[in-house]
Homo-oligomer: A and B are copies of this chain.
């Protein structure tokens, strides 16, 4: 069937088994006589799909009972507004860690609605590391502290055991590019949001995991659809949800559970990332671009130090069936996004190609 290895930063590779199931069920979902796309969102068959997706995600991430799981639209970019509109309503203050351009966008949008403060930033160093903070850095009366857990463009991450210490301030996290890739303790967060199109499914659905006590405090100007309370009260069915995208996420959750859950995928992800980072670190041609201790498991940027050679690498790798290895324009070089659905065989194929390329061009 001629599938390539797709290293796209997102939308990105999905598990082949999941796509096969989707293809098989396209015209007739489990004898319903129709596609999931054609189902009323009020039908029992569809309600089961959404409920199962929710339950499976709850299981996978060990989400405590005092959290609500929402399937929303508009991507993380809509959350950049939805979070302040809903949560910046106590002191009106929120503190931000700038670890990349998405974190910065979240900050800029919040600054339109209240007193948003940049606490630390690694922007001057092209966001090549995660700045350290201590509890004293945050305003005690802040309504929340915002982080972007994994920085897709730069390839850094807050490790599960290195989240900022924020005391009782709700920690709000954009987890778009590494949700479900390793175990994070959900109870440490007030709110987690993640666009689906990296580790969960197709674009068009954004998962929000919100502590229930943070629901119901939106500003008056908040559009009804952007009020977490609207969505929580209606179990994400206030209007027609993005049913098919939720169905796809559900298939991915089942694939992940079958694989052994987060522990299993975490160990696979670490093996994949370590293999690639080790190869880079031991090569003479390739160099990593970020602080070793902050490296992402999902996005692995690397350069040769020679722009023409980088361009040649991207071109030749594409010919070899390795797609989307070009780095983001703000960093240059290459980036291999190796999300959950990227098999070890893909990483092996990449390393093989890198070796051959080094031999010819090193």
Do the beta carbons of B27 and A26 come within 8 Å of each other? no
Contact of A28 among B2, B11, B26 (CB under 8 A): B2
Q: Which among A12-20, A133-141, A302-310 touches the partner chain?
A: A12-20
Q: Name the distance in Å between A220's Cβ and chain B's nearest Cβ.
A: 8
Do the beta carbons of A240 and B78 come within 8 Å of each other? no
Do the beta carbons of A223 and B8 come within 8 Å of each other? no
Residue A58 CB within 8 A of the other chain:
no
Q: Can you name the residue of chain B whose Cβ is closest to the Cβ of A23?
A: B26
Q: How many copies does the complex hold?
A: 2
Do the beta carbons of A203 and B240 come within 8 Å of each other? yes
Q: Which among A36-44, A60-68, A178-186, A354-362 touches the partner chain?
A: A36-44
Residue A4 CB within 8 A of the other chain:
yes
Q: Name the distance in Å between A335's Cβ and chain B's nearest Cβ.
A: 12
**A residues 88-107 touching B (CB-CB < 8 Å):** none
Q: Which among A159-167, A241-249, A271-279, A287-295 touches the partner chain?
A: A241-249
Contact of A202 among B10, B226, B244 (CB under 8 A): B244
Do the beta carbons of B16 and A23 come within 8 Å of each other? no
Chain B residues closer than 8 Å to A300, beta-carbon distance: none
Task: Give CA–CA (A185, B249) in the complex, Å.
Answer: 39
Q: Can you name the residue of chain B whose Cβ is closest to the Cβ of A201?
A: B37
Task: Give CA–CA (A6, B33) in the complex, Å.
Answer: 9
Q: Which among A69-77, A116-124, A260-268 touches the partner chain?
A: A69-77
A contacts with B: majority SS = loop
Do the beta carbons of B40 and A324 come within 8 Å of each other? yes
Task: Give CA–CA (A6, B78) in the complex, Å.
Answer: 33
Task: Give CA–CA (A26, B22) in the complex, Å.
Answer: 8
**A residues 190-231 touching B (CB-CB < 8 Å):** 195, 197, 201-205, 220-221, 223-226
Task: Give CA–CA (A33, B32) in the complex, Å.
Answer: 30
Residue A85 CB within 8 A of the other chain:
yes
Task: Give CA–CA (A37, B26) in the complex, Å.
Answer: 14
Residue A259 CB within 8 A of the other chain:
no
Q: Name the distance in Å between A342's Cβ and chain B's nearest Cβ.
A: 11
Do the beta carbons of B27 and A1 come within 8 Å of each other? yes
Q: Can you name the residue of chain B whose Cβ is closest to the Cβ of A21?
A: B26
Task: Give CA–CA (A216, B27) in the complex, Å.
Answer: 42
Do the beta carbons of A3 and B19 come within 8 Å of each other? no
Contact of A224 among B11, B20, B109, B323 (CB under 8 A): B109
Do the beta carbons of B240 and A195 come within 8 Å of each other? yes
Residue A314 CB within 8 A of the other chain:
no
Do the beta carbons of A35 and B14 come within 8 Å of each other? yes
Residue A253 CB within 8 A of the other chain:
no
Do the beta carbons of B40 and A11 come within 8 Å of each other? yes
Q: Name the distance in Å between A117's Cβ and chain B's nearest Cβ.
A: 20
Q: Name the distance in Å between A207's Cβ and chain B's nearest Cβ.
A: 14
Query: Would you list 28 pairs from A and B whose C-beta atoms are within 8 A, ordered by A residue?
Result: A1-B28, A2-B28, A3-B28, A3-B34, A10-B40, A10-B240, A11-B37, A13-B34, A14-B37, A19-B26, A33-B323, A37-B248, A43-B324, A73-B78, A73-B242, A74-B78, A75-B225, A75-B239, A76-B239, A77-B224, A80-B225, A81-B224, A81-B225, A112-B224, A195-B239, A203-B242, A204-B241, A242-B245
